[in-house]
Amino acid sequence: MKTSTIEYSKQTTKITLNTYDDGFFLSEIDITDVVLTLALEKLYDDYGLEQGDELHIRKKKSLGSVTKIELMKSRKNEDKK
């Protein structure tokens, strides 16, 4: 039976779509750029940001396997006031 997984490797810094058949590795496709682009678009949509707005991301201390991320938005127009 064929299965597919999405995996992240800290060693290669790639997000890949991997295919297996009965547990045996068949293929790997690098989808890093696509995933990051979609994630950024979603963040911009979720925070209601428009062209020229900024999203600041700050990585906080990791707690085991969980990483805390802090997001702050700012609008360029507000910065000029």
pLDDT tens sequence across 48-76: 988 888 888 887 766 666 556 676 766 66
Residue 40 confidence (pLDDT) above 80: yes
Q: Is the distance from CB of 33 to CB of 17 less than 8 angstroms?
A: no
In this structure, the answer to whether residues 56 and 36 fall within a common structural domain is no
61's CB contacts (< 8 A; 6+ apart) are 68
Question: For position 76, what pLDDT does the model report?
Answer: 63
Pick the more confident residue, 62 or 20: 20
In this structure, the answer to whether residues 30 and 62 fall within a common structural domain is no
Domain of 80 in residue numbering reads as 52-81
pTM of the predicted model as reported, rounded to 2 decimal places? 0.68
In this structure, the answer to whether residues 35 and 59 fall within a common structural domain is no
Q: How many structural domains does the chain have?
A: 2
The whole-angstrom separation of Cα 47 and Cα 56 is: 11
Over residues 28-52, the mean pLDDT reads 92
In this structure, the answer to whether residues 4 and 34 fall within a common structural domain is yes
